[in-house]
């Protein structure tokens, strides 16, 4: 990353194929990061299936003693990246992805809210399903578990993820979690721009465009004591974050939301039209001339319930207009995604040529 002030003091060493890189973005984690590093290091050291690994700790411009603590753990297999100012989780993970040397890259949260055993489970998916490019850990899918999360935050997060997942072509239970596994070859050449938490949506969008095979596994989320102590502040943060996520999702797939509005308008219009027509038929006098009787039935029905007529007419017109609008947006989106695919392919080829 050209704009990031990165201090990289470790000496890279050759590792065998199958090496795993663990990314941990850190921002003001002085109180917990030492314990986190020890736990991850101990866990990796006792895994027989993963014999080659590195831990990349990304200090995202922390203002406390986080960087000093990180540097005290620095070894050949524990590397430190550091920003001179806070750039956001997306920028931190992106820097880690670019610096990783492992064939498989797994990102974790700094407080280890998700079970460390997910490392083994993610790696197993890559090994046993060789066509897998990305593994998402989801506490919201079937068999996933959540403990200690305040009900208001949990409900908001689940609703946000349910809505956001509708903006992607594949059904996913969680699209905002940082705990994921990536095959290095599919992410290191991606053109990624988002610096904040919207990064998690951006990378999924571009991976889908590249035809990546994305798998989801059940997650186990346990809220830590430190999070509970700051639940009110974090609740406000997740609300703001959800707003940003939804706005970003609308940007990448604008008709994803409006199609439901269009469907609702058309259903209301059809329902009210059926009611109005049925009332007209009841009022129609079949013994008289058809045309005068029809106009009389229409007038009688309109005088009796003008709101039904206007609701039916208004919602049908709006529904048809928004349907036409969605068709135009869909055509433009297809064209935009095709251009984006070409652009990503060009950037990937340039990156590969540069490495050669």
CA–chain centroid gap for 257, Å, is 16
DSSP-based three-state secondary structure for 143: coil
Q: How far apart are CA 35 and CA 91, in angstroms?
A: 24
Using pLDDT thresholds of 50, 70 and 90, give the confidence band for residue 99. very high
Residues 211 and 327 in one domain: no
Residue 14 lies in a domain: no
Q: How far apart are CA 207 and CA 122, in angstroms?
A: 18
Q: How far apart are CA 46 and CA 42, in angstroms?
A: 6
Q: How far apart are CA 201 and CA 17, in angstroms?
A: 29
- Do 47 and 35 form a contact (C-beta atoms < 8 A)? no
Nearest 5°: the CA angle 105, 195, 61 is: 85
Residues 273 and 314 in one domain: yes
Q: What is the pLDDT averaged over residues 125-144?
A: 94
- Higher pLDDT among residues 316 and 287, named by residue: 316
Q: How far apart are CA 130 and CA 109, in angstroms?
A: 26
Which of 191, 226, 253 finishes a domain?
Answer: 253
The number of distinct structural domains making up the chain is 2
Per-residue pLDDT tens for 332-353? 666 666 666 666 666 666 655 5
Residue 9 lies in a domain: no
pLDDT at 95 over 50: yes
Residue 342 lies in a domain: yes
pLDDT at 119 over 60: yes
């Amino acid at each position: 990353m050209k704009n990031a002030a990165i201090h990289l003091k470790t000496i890279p060493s050759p590792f065998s194929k199958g090496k795993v890189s663990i990314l941990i973005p850190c921002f003001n984690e002085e109180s917990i990061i030492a314990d986190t590093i020890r736990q991850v290091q101990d866990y990796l050291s006792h895994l027989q299936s993963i014999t080659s690994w590195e831990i990349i700790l990304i200090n995202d411009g922390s203002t406390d003693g986080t960087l000093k603590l990180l540097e005290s753990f620095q070894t050949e297999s524990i590397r430190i990246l550091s920003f001179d100012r806070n750039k956001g989780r997306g920028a931190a993970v992106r820097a880690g992805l670019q610096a990783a040397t492992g064939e498989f890259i797994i990102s974790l949260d700094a407080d280890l809210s998700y079970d460390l055993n997910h490392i083994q489970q993610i790696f197993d998916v890559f090994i046993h399903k060789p066509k897998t490019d990305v593994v998402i850990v989801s506490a919201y899918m079937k068999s996933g578990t959540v403990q200690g999360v305040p009900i208001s935050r949990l409900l908001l997060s689940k609703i946000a993820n349910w809505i956001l997942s509708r903006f992607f072509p594949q059904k996913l239970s969680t699209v905002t979690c940082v705990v994921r596994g990536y095959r290095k070859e599919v992410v290191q050449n991606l053109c990624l721009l988002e610096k904040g938490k919207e990064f998690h949506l951006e990378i999924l969008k571009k991976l889908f465009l590249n035809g990546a095979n994305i798998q989801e596994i059940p997650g186990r989320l346990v809220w830590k004591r430190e999070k509970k102590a700051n639940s009110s502040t974090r609740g406000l943060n997740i609300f703001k974050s959800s707003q940003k996520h939804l706005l970003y999702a609308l940007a990448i797939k604008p008709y994803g939301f409006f199609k439901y509005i269009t469907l609702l308008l058309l259903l209301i219009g059809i329902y009210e039209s059926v009611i109005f027509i049925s009332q007209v038929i009841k009022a129609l006098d079949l013994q008289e001339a058809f045309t005068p009787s029809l106009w009389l039935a229409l007038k009688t029905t309109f005088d009796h319930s003008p709101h039904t007529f206007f609701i039916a007419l208004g919602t049908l017109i709006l529904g048809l207009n928004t349907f036409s609008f969605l068709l135009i947006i869909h055509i433009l989106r297809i064209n935009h995604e095709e251009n984006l695919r070409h652009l990503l392919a060009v950037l990937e080829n340039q990156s590969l040529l540069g490495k050669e």
